[in-house]
Structure 1
Amino acid sequence: MPSFLTIALALATAYLSTFIYSFLRNLLAARKSGFPLLLIPWDQNHLLWMVLCVPLRPHLQKWLPKPLWDRLALSIYGFEFHEGTRPFEQYLHGQKSYMHVGMGKSEFWTSDPEIAFEVLRRPRDFQQHPIADLFIARFGHNVLTTNGDRWARQRRIIAGVINERVSKAVFAESVAQTEGLVAAVFKAASGTRESVETMGMFDMMKKVAIHVLSGATMGSTVPFNESNEDELEPGFRLTYNESVKTVINAFAGPIILPKWFMKSYPSFLPGRQMMQSLGYAMDDFPAHMKSMLAQERQRTAASKLGQARSNIMSQLLQASEASGAGEGLSQEEMLGNLF
């Protein structure tokens, strides 16, 4: 009778062989494309890696040998913002496109504007990857996660909403928030009125971004130097602004985790408070949006002219309702596109 160790080794071997098989299958398929290949024998789509790769990035960069890190970095979510054109220059000798061959899904990367234009011109031939749902469709499907006729219907509505009126509202909100940021920096500084130094600019810019998104998208304007949070409404654990901040801060990784895991995250592990807040935000954020949508519908109905305001939510509601039966956005699609 085989021992426990033998069984464990057999199971481990069988599990690891699936990765080797995937890598070889991807390699054979990628060769048929005719594009240069960049081999990275790692499963960039593994759930555990997707959750941990972003927070582990600075540690892996510090611990791993440079040749190993240079390749592994290209399997980390959002690597293009950190690495730029390095993979094209380092591995492809200036060529503009390559196939990423790993143990997960094969990926095609390009910096060629002509190829990028052709891809965007043919949305029915180049479908959205299902993995996008994990990050972008947590609160509903939207124009970035759908394909075919559903995508065309949503894009038609969204394209009509992003107009000069909305752009003007975004610009005005950005100016107001930036003026608040400058005033806050100079008020807290002890230097001259001509120049100051601050170590909190990154957090301040994040605050500006969140406030601009809230004001221009949902019509929930919050002054930059506002010290008091919104009053907590009955039935909620977080205010609207708190839930927005929590969701955005977790967008790079933890947001893909199931809500039951967030809420039952062990208290003895690091990050307990963040995971608990995220679990609350995953419930409260869509609930806040539904409440604000209902209020906006009532405001528009009560208006004599039924005129929409300049924020994206109001414009989106008006455009959706004007699309006719079966052509507008569902509640789920409305929430997804606002997110």
Structure 2
Amino acid sequence: MALLLLSSISLAFLLSQCFSLYRSYQNARTLGLPIVISPVDPRNILWQLVRPRIQPLLRLLPNNLIQFAIISNPTWSFWDKAAVHQRLGPALVLVCPGINHIWVADPDAVTTILTNRKEFPKPNLYNILNVFGRNVDTVNGEEWTRHRKLTASCFNERISSHVWDESLRQAEAMLSHWLTAEKGRVRDMVDDTRIVTLHVLSAAGFGVRQDFGGGVRKVPEGHTMSFRDSLMLILFHLAMVLTFSFNLNLMLSRFMPKRIQRVGTAVKEFRQYMDEMLDNERQAMTTKQGASKPNLINTLIRESDEAKADANKNTSLFRLTDDEIKGNIFIFNLAGHDTTANTLAYAISLLAIHSEYQTWLAEELDHVLDPEKAADYESTYPRLKRCQAIMYETLRLYGPVTYIPRDASANEVLPLSTHAPQHPPIPPRSLITLNLHAIHTSPAAWGPDPLAFRPTRWIIPPSSPPTLASPRSVFDAETPLVPPAGSFIPWSVGPRVCPGMKFAQVEFAAVMSAVFARCRVAPSLAGAVAGEVLGGERLEEARRLLRGCVEDSGFEAVTLAMRRPEDVVLQFEER
């Protein structure tokens, strides 16, 4: 009897899924786009657990189902680049039970969608980032306007100058650590870039300067876990944190598995760190010295408190609650360090593989930097065009955000250039996903070598060489490339462009200039003798292994990162 009941329930569930899939298919047909059928929504938690174990079997599917096997992988847009879109077109529909995923890789459509934030708002799946409070990255409508108004003032030229100075200080300490390693052989480069970006954020974001050798890695008095460890555990287990967000004590219960208890401790510790940041900053702002420090958190507090004190304003619309301030602090930590740290790690690894671009970068650094005096932000940063080119090329190929999801308001039309204005509206229960990696590696935008790491593509050389009548150097005469609209969007575009874009650009330029003005880097082999200079076939083997680490990337937290950072072995030497 029990077996019959179970069979009946299973059959009913299967029939309901089939009917839901059929209804999604009928809705998708109205769009007139290529269709890929999927028996399961790739976001399904159970599917995400099962898929890695059956992935080899998926590759054996017949050709008409192989597209599902590709797109069912959460990292498919990074692995596939623009290949699926080149076969099927600039947009396609993944038809699943209960929902249609519309994947878009059309630059014009992407620009239109991101520019019209009200017609194409952020979907509810961003709520996973509301762990500590609602924030500028997750909200929509008028609530977003309030958050944006109060957070935008955090990112200004005073902050940029502070970011530059602190990035140089941290980078020089990191480089000294690398060069004093045994014969310059470094195994923890990826982790060190995380420490640098966390320390820069700590100083420029929260007014607390840290030393590279300790800082966020240390457990301060009153805590049981370091700031770094608590943040990393939360980022790597966001789904778990969201699942138990209704009851932290349940996570900490002794009846829970040790792993869940440890993540619960991380949440508790991180909340305590944020409470301490708010308390310390409010106390510091009462003094002249504290009020003069440029950082993100005191700007948030000041803007919010001033709005709260203004009796002529509706405070619920113009201020941020403490929970909302904490939510924005968490987003600043996520977007302000994890993305930049990964970009630095990829860039250093790529330069180790492609040593010719180290020479290319060093030529600019030797021209711009004066060894007799410190590099100041105002006169140095704008001239580091090749440095920025390396950042852009790294982001183009290994951008931390591989796609951007969007909902559609009722009766909105998918703004594809290939569609007629009278095209049917986007059907209900559809999620639009902008495929950034496909856009960033499209031959139409990036030429015949879109998969090649070639930073020089971002620099337009001067039309004529310098002369006595026009003595500007070739470096100052170089012009940065402005790519076609919608073809390069690592920070998004439109009103919801990442507010920390300049923060990241300045930090990257400062760290890279400090490192490559003094040294060169080459790949090493795990079994090599420290300090051994590799050549010939052994150097090619080391490059091949390092390239394998770079390509073996996926979503280790919420952004793209190398899966085996411990296998990245580099050799640093002064030049």
Same fold (TM > 0.5): yes
Identity, % of aligned positions: 26
Residue segments in structure 1 that go unaligned for 5+ positions in a row = 191-195
In 2: Cα distance, 1:316 partner to 1:276 partner: 32
More strand by share: 2
SS in 2 for 1:139: coil
Determine the structure 1 residue equivalent to 2:235. Answer: 248
In 1: Cα distance, 2:54 partner to 2:212 partner: 36
- Change in 2 beyond 3 A, CA 1:73/1:155: farther
Q: 2:132 aligns with which of 135, 139, 147?
A: 139
Q: 1:19 aligns with which of 17, 24, 36?
A: 17
Q: Which moved more, 1:224-233 or 1:326-335?
A: 224-233
In 2: Cα distance, 1:35 partner to 1:26 partner: 13
- Change in 2 beyond 3 A, CA 1:198/1:85: farther
- Whether 1:185 and 2:178 are equivalent positions in the alignment is yes
In 1: Cα distance, 2:213 partner to 2:272 partner: 26
**C-alpha deviations, 1:43-82, integer Å up to 9, x for none?**
22323445x47xx75x655564265786345344454344
- Whether 1:337 and 2:325 are equivalent positions in the alignment is no
Residue segments in structure 2 that go unaligned for 5+ positions in a row = 331-575
Matches within 5 A, 1:165-244: 165-190=158-183, 196-226=184-214, 229-233=218-222, 236-244=223-231
Q: What amino acid sits opposite 1:176 in the alignment?
A: R
| Larger Rg over CA atoms | 2
- Change in 2 beyond 3 A, CA 1:83/1:296: farther
Q: 2:103 aligns with which of 109, 133, 136?
A: 109
Q: 1:257 aligns with which of 243, 249, 252?
A: 243
Determine the structure 1 residue equivalent to 2:114. Answer: 120
Report if the CA contact (8 A) 1:27-1:101 is conserved.
Answer: yes
Q: CA RMSD of the aligned region, Å?
A: 3.1
Determine the structure 1 residue equivalent to 2:81. Answer: 84
Report if the CA contact (8 A) 1:60-1:69 is conserved.
Answer: no
Report if the CA contact (8 A) 1:42-1:104 is conserved.
Answer: no
Report if the CA contact (8 A) 2:58-2:69 is conserved.
Answer: no
In 2: Cα distance, 1:308 partner to 1:12 partner: 65
Alignment size in residue pairs:
316
In 1: Cα distance, 2:60 partner to 2:209 partner: 46
Report if the CA contact (8 A) 1:99-1:108 is conserved.
Answer: yes
Determine the structure 1 residue equivalent to 2:297. Answer: 313
In 1: Cα distance, 2:99 partner to 2:168 partner: 42
- Change in 2 beyond 3 A, CA 1:16/1:125: same
Report if the CA contact (8 A) 1:265-1:275 is conserved.
Answer: no
Determine the structure 1 residue equivalent to 2:437. Answer: none
In 1: Cα distance, 2:14 partner to 2:201 partner: 44
SS in 1 for 2:153: helix
**C-alpha deviations, 1:162-207, integer Å up to 9, x for none?**
22222333333333333333222222233xxxxx443333333333
SS in 2 for 1:307: helix
> What is the TM-score normalised by the length of structure 2?
0.49
SS in 2 for 1:109: strand
**C-alpha deviations, 1:262-316, integer Å up to 9, x for none?**
445978xxxx55432211111221232122112211211x224873532211222
**C-alpha deviations, 1:141-160, integer Å up to 9, x for none?**
11222111111111122222
